[in-house]
Amino acid sequence: MSGKMCSSSNSIIQAQKLVDQLRVEANMERFKISLTAADLVQYCQEHRRSDPLLTGIAASSNPFKDKKTCVLL
Protein backbone atom coordinates (compact mmCIF):
# COMPACT_ATOMS: atom_id res chain seq x y z
CA MET A 1 0.00 0.00 0.00
CA SER A 2 1.79 3.08 1.14
CA GLY A 3 4.88 0.87 1.35
CA LYS A 4 4.63 0.03 -2.35
CA MET A 5 4.06 3.63 -3.41
CA CYS A 6 7.05 4.73 -1.40
CA SER A 7 9.25 1.99 -2.77
CA SER A 8 8.91 3.07 -6.42
CA SER A 9 9.92 6.68 -5.77
CA ASN A 10 12.40 5.48 -3.19
CA SER A 11 14.07 3.21 -5.72
CA ILE A 12 14.22 6.02 -8.31
CA ILE A 13 15.96 8.27 -5.80
CA GLN A 14 18.26 5.43 -4.80
CA ALA A 15 19.11 4.64 -8.43
CA GLN A 16 19.82 8.31 -9.14
CA LYS A 17 22.10 8.56 -6.15
CA LEU A 18 23.90 5.39 -7.17
CA VAL A 19 24.40 6.63 -10.73
CA ASP A 20 25.67 10.00 -9.48
CA GLN A 21 28.09 8.28 -7.11
CA LEU A 22 29.35 5.94 -9.83
CA ARG A 23 29.85 8.87 -12.22
CA VAL A 24 32.03 10.58 -9.59
CA GLU A 25 34.05 7.41 -9.05
CA ALA A 26 34.42 6.71 -12.78
CA ASN A 27 35.89 10.16 -13.36
CA MET A 28 38.67 9.59 -10.87
CA GLU A 29 42.23 9.68 -12.13
CA ARG A 30 44.00 6.40 -11.41
CA PHE A 31 47.64 5.39 -11.61
CA LYS A 32 49.30 2.11 -12.50
CA ILE A 33 50.26 -0.17 -9.65
CA SER A 34 53.88 -0.28 -10.83
CA LEU A 35 54.09 3.44 -10.01
CA THR A 36 52.06 3.53 -6.82
CA ALA A 37 53.60 0.33 -5.39
CA ALA A 38 57.07 1.74 -6.06
CA ASP A 39 56.07 4.79 -4.01
CA LEU A 40 54.83 2.64 -1.14
CA VAL A 41 58.08 0.67 -1.12
CA GLN A 42 60.08 3.88 -1.26
CA TYR A 43 58.17 5.31 1.71
CA CYS A 44 58.98 2.20 3.76
CA GLN A 45 62.65 2.35 2.88
CA GLU A 46 62.93 6.07 3.59
CA HIS A 47 61.36 5.70 7.01
CA ARG A 48 63.12 2.50 7.92
CA ARG A 49 65.65 4.28 10.08
CA SER A 50 63.01 6.03 12.14
CA ASP A 51 61.00 2.86 12.79
CA PRO A 52 62.19 1.47 16.15
CA LEU A 53 60.70 -1.92 15.40
CA LEU A 54 62.90 -2.42 12.35
CA THR A 55 66.15 -0.98 13.59
CA GLY A 56 65.85 -1.72 17.28
CA ILE A 57 66.32 0.74 20.10
CA ALA A 58 68.91 0.74 22.84
CA ALA A 59 67.70 -0.84 26.05
CA SER A 60 68.49 2.32 27.98
CA SER A 61 66.14 4.44 25.92
CA ASN A 62 63.25 1.97 25.98
CA PRO A 63 60.82 3.43 28.52
CA PHE A 64 59.01 0.14 29.04
CA LYS A 65 62.07 -1.94 29.79
CA ASP A 66 62.32 -3.04 33.41
CA LYS A 67 64.86 -1.00 35.27
CA LYS A 68 67.51 -2.88 37.20
CA THR A 69 67.19 -2.43 40.89
CA CYS A 70 69.85 -0.35 42.64
CA VAL A 71 72.46 -2.17 44.63
CA LEU A 72 73.84 -0.50 47.73
CA LEU A 73 77.54 -1.21 48.00
User: Which positions touch another protein (CB under 8 A)?
Assistant: 2, 5-6, 8-16, 18-19, 21-26, 28, 30-41, 43-57, 62-66
DSSP state for residue 48 in the 8-state scheme: S
C-alpha span between 23 and 9 (Å, rounded) = 21
Query: Smallest distance from the beta carbon of 42 to another protein, in angstroms?
Result: 9
Closest C-alpha to 42, from 53, 34, 54, 32: 34
